[in-house]
Structure 1
């Protein structure tokens, strides 16, 4: 009888676990269906990858598609700068002049400065990310070498993340020499940084801290997230293109997310990234629940 009761108890435990697994499966399928509908509502081509940084579980739609990155490619450039500084090729405190050849229009502030500009490499990094300064970016590309950025991405397993031109280089764009990545590689890259596995924890954390200094009003992903939730992110935008890579610090359930659009027209809904962000946030909020679906905090 004792063995029989133990068997019954074991079966009950297994059935409870199965029911919980089934419930979470249903919730994930519902989230994926909703996200497919959101993406289908846009005439543009849209890709998404989200990674649960607690469990490693992913949600992806068109996640292996290759998309032009615009300024989101500045994250791999930033990583290469820190890699070469770690290798003692230069110090982040080294002062570099801004050369006329690297001064271009577009986002940022350096292109309108009239006096000679001499900044530390670290400050060029801050301007590249915080103000998305294209002149600072081109200075850093020249410093580290365009091919080195791509080769480092390749060494990390990101074969479709490539830096192929400087900022605001229309002739290169006409030759289809775009800076590219995929939602899957972008999200995995963010996970690498979050886990402290790019070079070392201190380097990874400093790179993420720079991404956290971006003005939150620039983020479309932040629109879909409550204001009390911290994010680290970089956006990108140019004709027909809108991208964003972000780490969302949802309490007890942080996640990485990359959303990319191209072939955008004037008719493309401007809320597509924020709508995707809200649905992904809602899903991961549910994943914080107890096995009976009780969410104890926000």
Structure 2
């Protein structure tokens, strides 16, 4: 009988203890979860302003570097810099219309690939090279006795070697200035126009030159790099051409061994023109930098561009 009472007593005591501990345990667990959630919310709230602050600081540094380039380049200089992604571009006179020099060849390339995509032209098409299209300046084709080249070979010479003769032949093959300007218009590049073939001095004397703006070129490069111009396959082919550009003496000069470079330069010493339009990529990050400079001194222009490339590399990648 005493043994039975003892068992009942122990059982009752256990029930009381369990009843007493259970709510406290749940309360403690709930408190821990609540504290964890509060910590997470606090972290989320603090990290967003910190990220915005970092981005604002970085944009400020980019603006300072671009302003220094524009100031030191001499002459009339415009600039455009944009990190690939959801970043706003930084510009100085980005919409100002300036002499394009060979940077206009980017738009000739785009129209060529538009026609190739449409099926009216093929990279393997053989194209004749008339004597009337042979001009000096940059490139090697004018001094060769070459009668025919494929469309692909001409594009390669135009972009990688900035060959003026190859450019003139392609302009003719694409239907003249009209289709290229129509393509430019469809891109929304309101400050860009192709008004003459390469080294057409009679056109220059009558007031017709090729023009673009830093913003037009920057936005176009962004579309190519993000595969929103003609589509991934065609845009990749254009990037491959830009990656092989032989002239990397300007924006990429001090960083070309540390990053992947896609660029197209332009020079016209008669008018003090030094231009460069570049995409600089490292890992999964990239930025676009476009500098158009005219009526300036070559050494000042090139030094300013080289400094900008190095400084942007430090700000964005390091």
- TM-score, with normalisation over the residues of structure 2? 0.82
- Whole-angstrom CA distance in 2 between matches of 1:241 and 1:8: 57
Size of the alignment, in residue pairs? 284
Instruction: Tell whether 2:73 aligns with 1:52.
Output: no
Deviation of 1:44 (Å): 1.4
Please list, as runs of the form range in 1=range in 2, the aligned pairs for 1:188-207 lying within 5 A after superposition. Answer: 188-207=219-238
The range that moved more, 160-169 or 272-281, is: 272-281
The range that moved more, 151-160 or 13-22, is: 13-22
- Residue 178 (structure 1) aligned to one of 209, 217, 220: 209
Instruction: Tell whether 2:257 aligns with 1:227.
Output: yes
The range that moved more, 94-103 or 81-90, is: 81-90
- Whole-angstrom CA distance in 2 between matches of 1:33 and 1:90: 45
**Per the alignment, do residues 199 and 267 of structure 1 end up closer, same or farther by CA in structure 2, a change over 3 Å counting?**
closer
- Whole-angstrom CA distance in 2 between matches of 1:132 and 1:166: 13
Q: Select the structure that is richer in helix.
A: 2
- Return 5+ residue gaps in structure 2 as ranges: 1-29
Please list, as runs of the form range in 1=range in 2, the aligned pairs for 1:1-298 lying within 5 A after superposition. Answer: 10-11=41-42, 13-114=44-145, 116-144=146-174, 145-215=176-246, 217-239=247-269, 240-265=272-297, 268-286=300-318
Deviation of 1:168 (Å): 0.3
Deviation of 1:138 (Å): 0.3
- Whole-angstrom CA distance in 2 between matches of 1:96 and 1:30: 48
**Match of residue 23 from structure 2:** none
What are the superposed Cα offsets for residues 91-133 of structure 1, whole Å, 9 maximum, x if unpaired? 221111110111111111111123x521111111111112211
Aligned-residue Cα RMSD (Å) equals: 2.2
- TM-score, with normalisation over the residues of structure 1? 0.88
Deviation of 1:83 (Å): 0.9
Q: Does the 8 Å contact 1:224/1:281 carry over to 2? A: no
Q: Does the 8 Å contact 2:79/2:93 carry over to 1? A: yes
- Whole-angstrom CA distance in 1 between matches of 2:94 and 2:178: 25
- Whole-angstrom CA distance in 2 between matches of 1:150 and 1:10: 53
Q: Does the 8 Å contact 1:44/1:268 carry over to 2? A: no
The range that moved more, 64-73 or 38-47, is: 38-47
Deviation of 1:11 (Å): 4.4
Runs of 4+ with deviation above 6 angstroms: none
What are the superposed Cα offsets for residues 228-273 of structure 1, whole Å, 9 maximum, x if unpaired? 3111111100021111111111223112221111111367453011
Q: Does the 8 Å contact 1:221/1:244 carry over to 2? A: yes
Q: Does the 8 Å contact 2:167/2:198 carry over to 1? A: yes
Flag the structure with larger Rg.
2
The range that moved more, 48-57 or 249-258, is: 48-57
The range that moved more, 105-114 or 268-277, is: 268-277
Q: Does the 8 Å contact 1:28/1:283 carry over to 2? A: no
